[in-house]
């Protein structure tokens, strides 16, 4: 199955569908990523704070896939905004890679006041060849505006929480207004399928609710990377390219907006000591 590519504003491309590994334990990580690579995923989304970069690296090494055929994202944790180069070097050592494809500032932590400095460091890390592309995560409109105004360099992506019950339409529009791609995290609302629309369209189209929700993300143009440690679900979440949602289904899922966030609010989220 061919996963579409998205061209980023720096000219690099990213597979629109990937595999997320937040909350995948060190016991499960290598098996889960190996399963994903066997199924056909070529884009892995991890982070230093997930504590599983070594296991991701082991699965990549054991897969014997060519480096160029893989897209690996990791993220700078909140305590390292003033210390980005060693932080990325530590991630690269754990991953067993010389370069990641995408390095993100995980959270802006505006109360700390160092995200612009972190962004300036990421620009240097790209120039130094330690990452092919750079971006941000959990950035609200003022945070995006500040780093772009200060440096003239736009992030390639803003990775933000999006699922049918929490769609962030204004932030999506603001992000795209800068020519920045939107990556939707917790795309399945952390596995909460207590919504009628995905269930109804799953029955109608002979798919699963998860597949309906993931198609909704893809058809909105989001870059998406569902997480699962369950082999059947890893395969199910990849089987998305032989059907489409009709406009009526898209409208039904759009109508699920409920302002229901699963994760932290970037305006206040800190968690610096984890
Ligand atoms: N930048 C950030 O701050 C941030 C925050 C959160 C997430 N992320 C990224 O986004 C990725 C995905 O988000 P997420 O992990 O928060 O949650 P998610 O992908 O929305 O949901 C994962 C949950 O859904 C379940 N699930 C997966 N596929 C399913 C299916 N086909 N049917 C039923 N249940 C299914 C999983 O269960 P099992 O694993 O038990 O199968 C797991 O409990 C993360 O792994 C991470 O890479 C980034």
Domain ranges of the chain: 5-192+220-243
User: In DSSP terms, which residues pair with 27 in a beta bridge?
Assistant: none
Ligand 1 neighbourhood includes 21 CB (under 6 angstroms) = yes
The answer to whether 100 touches 91, Cβ cutoff 8 Å, is: yes
State which ligand 1 atom lies nearest to the alpha carbon of 227: 19
Class of the domain covering 5-192+220-243: alpha beta
Q: Does 119 have pLDDT greater than 70?
A: yes
Name the pLDDT band for 114 (thresholds 50, 70, 90). very high
pLDDT: which is higher, 269 or 104: 104
Could you tell me the pLDDT band of residue 193, with boundaries at 50, 70 and 90?
confident
Token readout for 44 is 């892995």
pLDDT in tens, 79-93: 999 999 999 999 999
Mean pLDDT in residue range 219-223: 98
Closest CA to 37 of 9, 6, 21, 59: 59
Which protein residue's CA is at the shortest distance from atom 33 of ligand 1? 191
- 201 pLDDT exceeds 90? yes
Structure confidence at residue 150 (pLDDT): 98
Give the residue numbers annotated as catalytic, written as ranges.
Answer: 50
Instruction: Please check the confidence at residue 144 and state whether its pLDDT lies above 60.
Output: yes
Least confident among 109-113, 130-134, 187-191, 198-202: 187-191
Q: Residue 191's pLDDT band (boundaries 50, 70, 90)?
A: confident
Which tokens hold the place of 17? 């569908």
Q: Is the pLDDT of residue 270 over 90?
A: no
Tokens, residue 101:
């494809």
For residue 232, give the ligand 1 atom closest to its CA: 31
pLDDT > 90 in the chain, percent = 95
Cα of 234 to ligand 1 centre, how many Å? 11
By DSSP bridging, strand 13-15 and strand 5-7 are antiparallel
Q: Which residue has the tokens 């995948």?
A: 24
Task: Answer whether residue 272 shows pLDDT above 80.
Answer: no
Q: Is 229 in the pocket of ligand 1 (CB under 6 A)?
A: yes
Which residues fall within 8 angstroms of residue 40, CB to CB, at 6 or more apart? 1, 3, 238
Which of 20, 21, 52, 193 is the pocket-test mutation for ligand 1 (most atoms within 8 Å of CB)? 20
Closest CA to 183 of 55, 35, 47, 31: 47
So what's the pLDDT on residue 100? 98
Residue 81 assigned ligand-binding role: no
Q: How far is the CA of 142 from the centre of ligand 1 (A)?
A: 27
**With 70 as the cut, is the pLDDT of residue 249 above it?**
yes
Cβ neighbours around 128 below 10 Å, total:
11
- Residue 237 beta carbon below 6 angstroms from any ligand 1 atom: yes
Ligand 1 center from residue 233 Cα (angstroms): 11
Query: Does residue 108 have its Cβ closer than 6 Å to ligand 1?
Result: no
Does the pLDDT at position 253 exceed 80?
Answer: yes
Q: Is the pLDDT of residue 274 over 60?
A: no
Instruction: For residue 194, name the pLDDT band (cuts at 50, 70, 90).
Output: confident
């Amino acid at each position: 199955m061919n996963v579409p590519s998205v061209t980023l504003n720096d000219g690099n491309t990213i597979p629109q569908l990937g595999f997320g590994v937040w909350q995948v334990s060190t016991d499960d990580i290598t098996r889960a990523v190996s399963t994903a690579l066997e199924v056909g995923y070529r884009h892995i989304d991890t982070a230093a704070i997930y504590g599983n970069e070594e296991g991701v690296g082991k699965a990549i090494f054991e897969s014997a896939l060519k480096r160029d055929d893989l897209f690996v994202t990791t993220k700078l944790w909140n305590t390292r905004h003033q210390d980005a180069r060693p932080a990325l070097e530590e991630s690269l050592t754990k991953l067993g890679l010389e370069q990641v494809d995408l390095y993100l500032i995980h959270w802006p932590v505006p109360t700390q006041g160092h995200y612009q400095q972190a962004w300036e460091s990421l620009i240097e890390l790209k120039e130094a060849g330690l990452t092919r592309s750079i971006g941000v995560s959990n950035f609200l409109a003022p945070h995006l505006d500040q780093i772009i105004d200060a440096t003239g360099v736009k992030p390639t992506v803003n990775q933000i929480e999006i699922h049918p019950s929490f769609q962030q339409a204004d932030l999506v529009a603001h992000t795209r207004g800068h020519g920045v791609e939107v990556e939707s995290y917790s795309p399945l609302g952390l596995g909460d399928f207590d919504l009628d629309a995905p269930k109804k369209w799953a029955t109608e189209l002979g798919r699963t609710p998860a597949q309906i929700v993931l198609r909704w993300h893809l058809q909105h143009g989001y870059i998406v990377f569902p997480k699962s440690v369950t082999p059947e679900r890893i395969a199910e979440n990849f089987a998305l390219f032989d059907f489409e949602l009709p406009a009526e289904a898209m409208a039904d899922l759009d109508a699920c907006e409920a302002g229901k966030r699963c994760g932290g609010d970037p305006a206040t989220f800190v968690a610096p000591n984890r």
